[in-house]
Structure 1
Amino acid sequence: MRNIKKRVAEKNLENVKFIMVSIDPETDTPQRLKQFSKENFMQDNQWMFLRGTPGDNGEFAAVLAVSYKQISTIDFSHSNILSVFDKNGVMVHQQEGLGVDNEETVAAINLEISN
């Protein structure tokens, strides 16, 4: 996500939020998420870290077609999906994969901001 942020047009950044949603609310306490944001240089206004209840997470994951499964007491297996939403909360783009070319995602963000 930091790579995507670097590629979004500078003039558009004030209108973009990068939201990370924890799938492990028991481990990912607010304090732990804050520490993660510091360690990964994700502290400016564009970053937001969310956590919910296990039930909330399941419902949210289903809506976004994210699969996840707890494989040990401290580890999860999960799909890597990036979703882009317009200012009304409507999903306009989705990309799956880790380490893939994010050009389409960056283009979708820049297009939404320019609309």
Structure 2
Amino acid sequence: MKKTLKHQLLLSFILALSSPAFADNHEHHHHPQQTAASAPSTDSVFNITDNWTAANGSAFQLSALGGKPTVIAMVYTSCQYVCPLTVQNIKRIERSLGAAQAANTNFALFSLDPERDTPAKLTEFAKLHGITSPSWTLAQGNASAIRKLAVTLGVKYKKVESGDYEHDATIFILDKDGMVKYQVDAMNKNMNGASDALKALLR
């Protein structure tokens, strides 16, 4: 009888840990994404026609990134850990390219935080992370635009009470037509697969 009670208590503890209430108390949860060669969606992100605002204040649509492969991630500038590492891994992919290849690639960060990530905040974030190349785009959009892009990419996210976000941390490689050709967990220490996938698109 005692053994059964112990098992019941252990099961209750495990269920409590896995409950939504427990998860909600852990800000900025990172949902790991496995490396995959297939796209999370069969739709091109360029089919999304919402307007975004770049860090320099100019408005654009996602189709403006067409014609070149694009390395893309969804982040927010108030993030203290996952998003900075995501940026550093994208920069590792960029450094793996030759100068001509890098110039023929778009690198784009789209904010999950429409309230706080103003163009000025995005500009500050770019400076903080040493992003100076014209190949990079940092952008903010309204809640609807963010949701459509996240759904198309297969990125799950949720705002928590602090104003921060729990979200998937994934780096995507798009072809020149805006189709996802490769994706990798942004926390993965090995970006060789992403680099190889990008170089294949640049050939």
* TM-score normalised according to structure 2 size: 0.53
Query: What whole-Å deviation, never above 9, does each CA across 1:70-114 have from its counterpart, x for those lacking one?
Result: 113431111111111111222211112413311111101111011
- Give the corresponding residue for 1:70: 159
Q: Greater RCO between the two (CA within 8 Å, min separation 6)?
A: 2
Considering only aligned residues, what root-mean-square deviation do their CA atoms show, in Å? 1.3
Aligned equivalent of 2:194, options 82, 102, 105? 105
Unaligned runs of 5+ in 2: 1-89
- Give the corresponding residue for 1:56: 145
Larger Rg: 2
Aligned equivalent of 2:170, options 75, 81, 87? 81
* 1:18-57 aligned within 5 A: 18-57=107-146
Unaligned runs of 5+ in 1: none
Q: Which amino acid aligns with 1:60?
A: L
Q: Which amino acid aligns with 2:173?
A: V
Q: Which amino acid aligns with 1:27?
A: R
* TM-score normalised according to structure 1 size: 0.91
CA distance in 2, matches of 1:35, 1:110: 30
CA distance in 1, matches of 2:128, 2:150: 26
The percent of aligned pairs where both chains have the same amino acid is 24
Number of residues paired by the alignment?
114
CA distance in 2, matches of 1:29, 1:73: 18
User: Bigger CA drift: 69-78 or 51-60?
Assistant: 69-78
8 Å CA contact retained: 1:22, 1:52: yes
